[in-house]
Amino acid sequence: MPALLQGIQQRASALNRHIVLSEPDDPRVLRAGVEALKRGVAHITLVGSRAAVEACARQEGLSLEGLTLRDPATDPETAALAQRLVERRQHKGMTPEKAQTEIQKPLVFANMLVTEGKVDGSVSGAVHTTADVVRTAIQLIGPAPGSKLVSSFFLAALDKPHHPIQGGLIYTDCGLVINPSSEELVDIARAGAQSARQLLGEEPRVALLSFSTAGSGGHHPDVLKVKKAVTLLREADTGLKVDGEVQFDAAMVPSIAKRKLPDTQLEGRANVLVFPNLDAGNIGYKITERIGGAFMVGPLLQGLAKPANDLSRGCDTPDIVNAIAVTALQGG
Protein backbone atom coordinates (compact mmCIF):
# COMPACT_ATOMS: atom_id res chain seq x y z
CA MET A 1 0.00 0.00 0.00
CA PRO A 2 1.37 3.47 -0.86
CA ALA A 3 2.70 5.44 2.08
CA LEU A 4 0.11 8.16 1.45
CA LEU A 5 -2.74 5.72 2.04
CA GLN A 6 -1.07 4.21 5.08
CA GLY A 7 -0.86 7.73 6.47
CA ILE A 8 -4.50 8.43 5.70
CA GLN A 9 -5.57 5.29 7.54
CA GLN A 10 -3.40 6.21 10.52
CA ARG A 11 -4.79 9.75 10.61
CA ALA A 12 -8.33 8.39 10.35
CA SER A 13 -7.68 6.07 13.27
CA ALA A 14 -6.68 9.00 15.46
CA LEU A 15 -9.99 10.77 14.76
CA ASN A 16 -12.17 7.95 16.17
CA ARG A 17 -14.90 8.45 13.52
CA HIS A 18 -17.99 6.32 12.99
CA ILE A 19 -18.77 5.23 9.41
CA VAL A 20 -21.87 3.42 8.13
CA LEU A 21 -21.89 0.80 5.36
CA SER A 22 -25.20 0.15 3.60
CA GLU A 23 -24.30 -3.03 1.65
CA PRO A 24 -22.94 -5.40 4.32
CA ASP A 25 -24.49 -8.52 2.82
CA ASP A 26 -21.87 -8.18 0.04
CA PRO A 27 -18.78 -10.14 1.14
CA ARG A 28 -16.39 -7.40 -0.03
CA VAL A 29 -18.15 -4.79 2.09
CA LEU A 30 -18.46 -7.00 5.15
CA ARG A 31 -14.78 -7.93 4.98
CA ALA A 32 -13.91 -4.24 4.66
CA GLY A 33 -15.99 -3.36 7.71
CA VAL A 34 -14.30 -6.07 9.75
CA GLU A 35 -10.85 -5.02 8.49
CA ALA A 36 -11.43 -1.31 9.11
CA LEU A 37 -12.54 -2.04 12.67
CA LYS A 38 -9.59 -4.38 13.24
CA ARG A 39 -7.11 -1.74 12.08
CA GLY A 40 -8.85 0.95 14.09
CA VAL A 41 -9.60 3.02 11.00
CA ALA A 42 -13.14 3.75 12.22
CA HIS A 43 -16.06 2.43 14.22
CA ILE A 44 -18.39 0.66 11.81
CA THR A 45 -22.17 0.43 11.62
CA LEU A 46 -23.71 -2.02 9.15
CA VAL A 47 -27.21 -1.34 7.83
CA GLY A 48 -29.13 -4.21 6.28
CA SER A 49 -31.14 -7.32 6.87
CA ARG A 50 -29.81 -8.94 10.04
CA ALA A 51 -30.46 -12.42 8.64
CA ALA A 52 -28.66 -11.66 5.38
CA VAL A 53 -25.66 -10.07 7.07
CA GLU A 54 -25.31 -12.87 9.59
CA ALA A 55 -25.57 -15.42 6.78
CA CYS A 56 -22.84 -13.61 4.86
CA ALA A 57 -20.63 -13.54 7.96
CA ARG A 58 -21.07 -17.29 8.45
CA GLN A 59 -20.30 -18.00 4.82
CA GLU A 60 -17.15 -15.84 4.93
CA GLY A 61 -16.04 -17.06 8.35
CA LEU A 62 -16.18 -13.53 9.79
CA SER A 63 -17.03 -12.39 13.28
CA LEU A 64 -19.40 -9.44 13.72
CA GLU A 65 -18.05 -8.70 17.19
CA GLY A 66 -17.47 -4.99 17.68
CA LEU A 67 -19.58 -4.02 14.68
CA THR A 68 -22.97 -2.34 15.10
CA LEU A 69 -25.68 -4.00 13.00
CA ARG A 70 -28.91 -2.08 12.37
CA ASP A 71 -31.82 -3.66 10.51
CA PRO A 72 -34.37 -1.07 9.33
CA ALA A 73 -37.12 -3.68 9.65
CA THR A 74 -36.66 -3.94 13.41
CA ASP A 75 -34.57 -0.94 14.49
CA PRO A 76 -36.14 1.10 17.32
CA GLU A 77 -35.26 4.36 15.55
CA THR A 78 -36.80 3.51 12.17
CA ALA A 79 -40.06 5.34 12.84
CA ALA A 80 -38.27 8.49 14.05
CA LEU A 81 -35.96 8.47 11.04
CA ALA A 82 -38.97 8.09 8.74
CA GLN A 83 -40.55 11.15 10.35
CA ARG A 84 -37.35 13.14 9.86
CA LEU A 85 -37.31 12.00 6.24
CA VAL A 86 -40.80 13.44 5.80
CA GLU A 87 -39.67 16.73 7.31
CA ARG A 88 -36.67 16.94 4.99
CA ARG A 89 -38.46 15.91 1.81
CA GLN A 90 -42.10 16.92 2.17
CA HIS A 91 -41.49 19.88 -0.15
CA LYS A 92 -40.74 17.25 -2.80
CA GLY A 93 -43.88 15.24 -2.11
CA MET A 94 -42.61 12.91 0.60
CA THR A 95 -45.52 11.57 2.64
CA PRO A 96 -45.48 9.48 5.83
CA GLU A 97 -46.53 6.45 3.79
CA LYS A 98 -43.71 6.91 1.27
CA ALA A 99 -41.22 7.56 4.04
CA GLN A 100 -42.10 4.31 5.78
CA THR A 101 -41.25 2.48 2.56
CA GLU A 102 -38.11 4.50 1.78
CA ILE A 103 -36.57 4.20 5.24
CA GLN A 104 -36.55 0.40 4.86
CA LYS A 105 -33.92 0.81 2.12
CA PRO A 106 -30.46 0.44 3.69
CA LEU A 107 -29.03 3.23 1.50
CA VAL A 108 -31.69 5.66 2.72
CA PHE A 109 -31.48 4.53 6.36
CA ALA A 110 -27.67 4.87 6.31
CA ASN A 111 -27.71 8.38 4.90
CA MET A 112 -30.37 9.45 7.37
CA LEU A 113 -28.03 8.30 10.14
CA VAL A 114 -25.42 10.66 8.66
CA THR A 115 -27.93 13.50 8.31
CA GLU A 116 -29.04 13.14 11.92
CA GLY A 117 -25.46 13.10 13.22
CA LYS A 118 -25.63 9.55 14.54
CA VAL A 119 -22.61 8.57 12.43
CA ASP A 120 -19.91 10.66 10.74
CA GLY A 121 -20.19 9.46 7.14
CA SER A 122 -21.37 6.74 4.78
CA VAL A 123 -19.79 4.52 2.14
CA SER A 124 -21.92 2.82 -0.53
CA GLY A 125 -21.73 1.84 -4.18
CA ALA A 126 -20.33 -1.68 -4.25
CA VAL A 127 -23.86 -2.79 -5.19
CA HIS A 128 -25.84 0.42 -5.74
CA THR A 129 -25.29 2.50 -8.88
CA THR A 130 -23.48 5.81 -8.71
CA ALA A 131 -26.73 7.52 -9.68
CA ASP A 132 -28.52 6.02 -6.66
CA VAL A 133 -25.69 6.80 -4.24
CA VAL A 134 -25.23 10.39 -5.38
CA ARG A 135 -28.94 11.17 -5.63
CA THR A 136 -29.60 9.84 -2.13
CA ALA A 137 -26.67 11.78 -0.67
CA ILE A 138 -27.76 15.03 -2.31
CA GLN A 139 -31.38 14.61 -1.29
CA LEU A 140 -30.78 13.60 2.31
CA ILE A 141 -27.45 15.18 3.27
CA GLY A 142 -27.38 18.07 0.83
CA PRO A 143 -24.62 20.45 -0.27
CA ALA A 144 -22.25 22.04 2.20
CA PRO A 145 -22.99 25.63 3.23
CA GLY A 146 -21.75 27.96 0.51
CA SER A 147 -21.58 25.18 -2.07
CA LYS A 148 -24.05 24.92 -4.93
CA LEU A 149 -22.58 21.79 -6.47
CA VAL A 150 -21.67 18.27 -5.43
CA SER A 151 -18.76 16.96 -7.48
CA SER A 152 -16.33 14.06 -7.42
CA PHE A 153 -12.60 13.53 -7.28
CA PHE A 154 -9.95 10.85 -7.35
CA LEU A 155 -6.99 10.68 -5.02
CA ALA A 156 -3.84 9.68 -6.92
CA ALA A 157 -1.15 8.06 -4.77
CA LEU A 158 2.27 8.22 -6.45
CA ASP A 159 5.07 6.11 -5.01
CA LYS A 160 6.71 4.24 -7.90
CA PRO A 161 10.37 4.90 -8.77
CA HIS A 162 9.36 6.18 -12.20
CA HIS A 163 6.94 8.77 -10.81
CA PRO A 164 8.55 12.22 -11.15
CA ILE A 165 6.74 13.37 -8.00
CA GLN A 166 6.04 11.38 -4.86
CA GLY A 167 2.93 11.76 -2.73
CA GLY A 168 -0.63 12.58 -3.73
CA LEU A 169 -2.69 14.57 -6.20
CA ILE A 170 -6.37 15.49 -6.34
CA TYR A 171 -8.03 14.92 -9.74
CA THR A 172 -11.40 16.66 -10.12
CA ASP A 173 -14.05 16.30 -11.50
CA CYS A 174 -13.52 12.90 -13.11
CA GLY A 175 -16.81 11.14 -12.43
CA LEU A 176 -19.86 13.32 -12.05
CA VAL A 177 -20.25 16.78 -13.65
CA ILE A 178 -20.18 16.31 -17.41
CA ASN A 179 -19.60 19.79 -18.78
CA PRO A 180 -19.23 22.29 -15.94
CA SER A 181 -19.79 26.00 -16.50
CA SER A 182 -17.23 28.56 -15.36
CA GLU A 183 -19.17 29.00 -12.14
CA GLU A 184 -19.34 25.26 -11.57
CA LEU A 185 -15.59 24.96 -12.17
CA VAL A 186 -15.14 27.42 -9.31
CA ASP A 187 -17.16 25.19 -6.98
CA ILE A 188 -15.23 22.13 -8.15
CA ALA A 189 -11.89 23.88 -7.64
CA ARG A 190 -12.76 25.10 -4.16
CA ALA A 191 -14.02 21.66 -3.16
CA GLY A 192 -10.86 20.10 -4.61
CA ALA A 193 -8.77 22.51 -2.53
CA GLN A 194 -10.59 21.37 0.60
CA SER A 195 -10.00 17.74 -0.38
CA ALA A 196 -6.27 18.50 -0.63
CA ARG A 197 -6.25 20.01 2.84
CA GLN A 198 -8.11 17.04 4.31
CA LEU A 199 -6.33 14.17 2.57
CA LEU A 200 -2.90 15.45 1.54
CA GLY A 201 -2.38 17.66 4.58
CA GLU A 202 -0.95 20.29 2.24
CA GLU A 203 -1.71 23.82 1.17
CA PRO A 204 -3.79 23.52 -2.00
CA ARG A 205 -2.09 24.48 -5.25
CA VAL A 206 -4.85 24.52 -7.84
CA ALA A 207 -4.36 24.25 -11.60
CA LEU A 208 -7.36 24.78 -13.90
CA LEU A 209 -6.38 22.69 -16.89
CA SER A 210 -6.92 23.42 -20.56
CA PHE A 211 -5.37 22.75 -23.96
CA SER A 212 -4.20 26.37 -23.68
CA THR A 213 -1.71 28.14 -21.41
CA ALA A 214 -2.02 31.89 -20.86
CA GLY A 215 -4.00 32.47 -24.02
CA SER A 216 -2.00 30.20 -26.34
CA GLY A 217 -5.25 28.54 -27.46
CA GLY A 218 -6.75 31.78 -28.66
CA HIS A 219 -10.38 32.71 -28.09
CA HIS A 220 -11.96 29.28 -28.31
CA PRO A 221 -15.05 29.01 -26.06
CA ASP A 222 -13.47 26.16 -24.08
CA VAL A 223 -10.47 28.36 -23.30
CA LEU A 224 -12.62 31.34 -22.36
CA LYS A 225 -14.68 29.15 -20.02
CA VAL A 226 -11.60 28.21 -18.03
CA LYS A 227 -10.18 31.74 -18.09
CA LYS A 228 -13.44 33.08 -16.66
CA ALA A 229 -13.41 30.38 -13.98
CA VAL A 230 -9.89 31.43 -12.93
CA THR A 231 -10.99 35.06 -12.59
CA LEU A 232 -14.04 34.10 -10.54
CA LEU A 233 -12.04 31.72 -8.37
CA ARG A 234 -9.43 34.34 -7.53
CA GLU A 235 -12.21 36.76 -6.60
CA ALA A 236 -13.99 34.17 -4.46
CA ASP A 237 -10.90 32.88 -2.64
CA THR A 238 -8.13 35.46 -2.61
CA GLY A 239 -5.82 33.32 -0.47
CA LEU A 240 -5.86 30.32 -2.80
CA LYS A 241 -2.84 29.66 -5.03
CA VAL A 242 -4.15 29.20 -8.59
CA ASP A 243 -2.77 28.85 -12.10
CA GLY A 244 -4.92 28.81 -15.22
CA GLU A 245 -5.82 28.39 -17.85
CA VAL A 246 -2.85 26.06 -18.02
CA GLN A 247 -1.75 22.92 -19.87
CA PHE A 248 -0.89 19.84 -17.85
CA ASP A 249 2.85 20.08 -18.40
CA ALA A 250 2.96 23.71 -17.27
CA ALA A 251 0.98 22.75 -14.18
CA MET A 252 3.31 19.89 -13.19
CA VAL A 253 6.84 20.59 -14.53
CA PRO A 254 8.68 23.58 -13.00
CA SER A 255 10.92 24.25 -16.00
CA ILE A 256 7.95 24.29 -18.38
CA ALA A 257 5.89 26.46 -16.04
CA LYS A 258 8.72 28.99 -15.93
CA ARG A 259 8.90 29.07 -19.71
CA LYS A 260 5.18 29.07 -20.52
CA LEU A 261 3.73 30.96 -17.56
CA PRO A 262 6.07 33.67 -16.23
CA ASP A 263 3.56 34.87 -13.62
CA THR A 264 2.89 31.37 -12.26
CA GLN A 265 1.80 31.04 -8.64
CA LEU A 266 2.37 27.29 -8.57
CA GLU A 267 5.75 27.07 -10.31
CA GLY A 268 4.81 23.72 -11.85
CA ARG A 269 3.93 22.10 -8.52
CA ALA A 270 0.14 21.74 -8.63
CA ASN A 271 -1.47 19.27 -6.27
CA VAL A 272 -5.10 19.87 -7.35
CA LEU A 273 -5.86 19.30 -11.03
CA VAL A 274 -9.22 20.72 -12.15
CA PHE A 275 -10.29 19.27 -15.50
CA PRO A 276 -12.41 21.35 -17.89
CA ASN A 277 -14.96 18.58 -18.49
CA LEU A 278 -15.69 14.95 -17.72
CA ASP A 279 -14.12 13.73 -20.97
CA ALA A 280 -10.75 15.13 -19.96
CA GLY A 281 -11.06 14.13 -16.31
CA ASN A 282 -12.13 10.55 -16.91
CA ILE A 283 -9.48 9.97 -19.58
CA GLY A 284 -6.82 11.68 -17.49
CA TYR A 285 -7.29 9.63 -14.35
CA LYS A 286 -7.45 6.36 -16.26
CA ILE A 287 -4.22 7.11 -18.12
CA THR A 288 -2.60 7.97 -14.79
CA GLU A 289 -3.79 4.66 -13.33
CA ARG A 290 -3.37 2.25 -16.22
CA ILE A 291 -0.22 3.55 -17.89
CA GLY A 292 1.27 5.72 -15.17
CA GLY A 293 0.83 3.02 -12.52
CA ALA A 294 -0.60 5.33 -9.88
CA PHE A 295 -2.87 3.97 -7.15
CA MET A 296 -6.20 5.75 -7.62
CA VAL A 297 -8.81 5.99 -4.86
CA GLY A 298 -12.29 7.02 -5.96
CA PRO A 299 -14.59 8.25 -7.21
CA LEU A 300 -15.10 10.19 -4.00
CA LEU A 301 -17.67 12.90 -3.38
CA GLN A 302 -16.98 16.47 -2.32
CA GLY A 303 -19.19 19.47 -1.64
CA LEU A 304 -21.63 17.66 0.68
CA ALA A 305 -22.61 18.96 4.10
CA LYS A 306 -21.44 15.66 5.61
CA PRO A 307 -19.35 12.89 4.05
CA ALA A 308 -20.92 10.23 1.84
CA ASN A 309 -18.83 8.37 -0.68
CA ASP A 310 -19.46 6.25 -3.72
CA LEU A 311 -17.60 3.08 -4.63
CA SER A 312 -17.00 1.53 -8.00
CA ARG A 313 -19.07 -1.63 -8.36
CA GLY A 314 -15.81 -3.32 -9.37
CA CYS A 315 -14.17 -2.42 -6.06
CA ASP A 316 -12.37 -4.87 -3.81
CA THR A 317 -12.06 -4.96 -0.05
CA PRO A 318 -8.89 -2.78 0.18
CA ASP A 319 -10.64 -0.15 -1.98
CA ILE A 320 -13.50 -0.03 0.51
CA VAL A 321 -11.18 0.22 3.51
CA ASN A 322 -9.45 3.17 1.83
CA ALA A 323 -12.82 4.79 1.15
CA ILE A 324 -13.75 4.37 4.82
CA ALA A 325 -10.51 6.08 5.86
CA VAL A 326 -11.03 8.94 3.41
CA THR A 327 -14.62 9.39 4.61
CA ALA A 328 -13.41 9.59 8.18
CA LEU A 329 -10.96 12.37 7.31
CA GLN A 330 -13.62 14.29 5.41
CA GLY A 331 -15.69 14.41 8.57
CA GLY A 332 -13.62 17.12 10.15
Angle of CA points 245, 251, 254, to nearest 5°: 135
Q: How far is CA 280 from CA 77, 122, 231, 277, 293, in A?
A: 44, 28, 21, 6, 18
What tens digit of pLDDT does each residue of 289-330 get? Answer: 999 999 998 889 999 999 999 988 888 999 999 999 999 999
CA quadruple 129, 131, 137, 143: dihedral, nearest 10: 150
What is the pLDDT, as a whole number, of residue 184? 96
Q: Is the pTM of this model over 0.95?
A: no
* CA separation for the pair 130, 35 (Å, rounded): 24
What is the pLDDT, as a whole number, of residue 54? 97
| Widest distance between CA atoms in the chain | 65
Angle of CA points 276, 281, 287, to nearest 5°: 140
What tens digit of pLDDT does each residue of 243-298 get? Answer: 989 999 999 999 999 999 989 999 999 999 999 999 999 999 999 999 999 999 88
**In what helix (H) or strand (E) does residue 172 lie, and over which residues does it extend?**
strand 167-172
The CATH code of domain 3-142+304-331 reads 3.40.50.10950
What is the pLDDT, as a whole number, of residue 244? 87
What tens digit of pLDDT does each residue of 133-180 get? Answer: 999 999 999 998 888 899 999 999 998 889 888 899 999 999 899 999
Lowest mean pLDDT among 215-224, 230-239, 281-290: 215-224
Q: How far is CA 53 from CA 26, 100, 148, 224, 270, in A?
A: 8, 22, 37, 52, 44
Q: Does residue 219 have a pLDDT over 70?
A: yes
What is the pLDDT, as a whole number, of residue 332? 62
| Mean per-residue pLDDT over the chain, rounded | 94
What pLDDT band is residue 210 in, cutting at 50, 70 and 90? very high
- The class that CATH gives domain 151-295 is alpha beta
Does this chain's domain 3-142+304-331 share its CATH topology with 151-295? yes
What tens digit of pLDDT does each residue of 18-72 get? Answer: 999 999 999 999 999 999 999 999 999 999 999 999 999 999 999 999 999 999 9
* Strand-by-strand arrangement of the 18-21 sheet: 68-70, 43-47, 18-21, 121-124, 308-310
Q: How many residues does the chain have?
A: 332
Amino acid at 23: E
Sign for the pseudo-dihedral over CA of 80, 81, 85, 88:
positive
Q: How many CB atoms lie within 10 A of CB 114?
A: 25
122: β partners? 20, 308
Angle of CA points 52, 58, 62, to nearest 5°: 110
For the chain, the structural domain boundaries read 3-142+304-331, 151-295
Q: How far is CA 237 from CA 118, 229, 232, in A?
A: 33, 12, 9
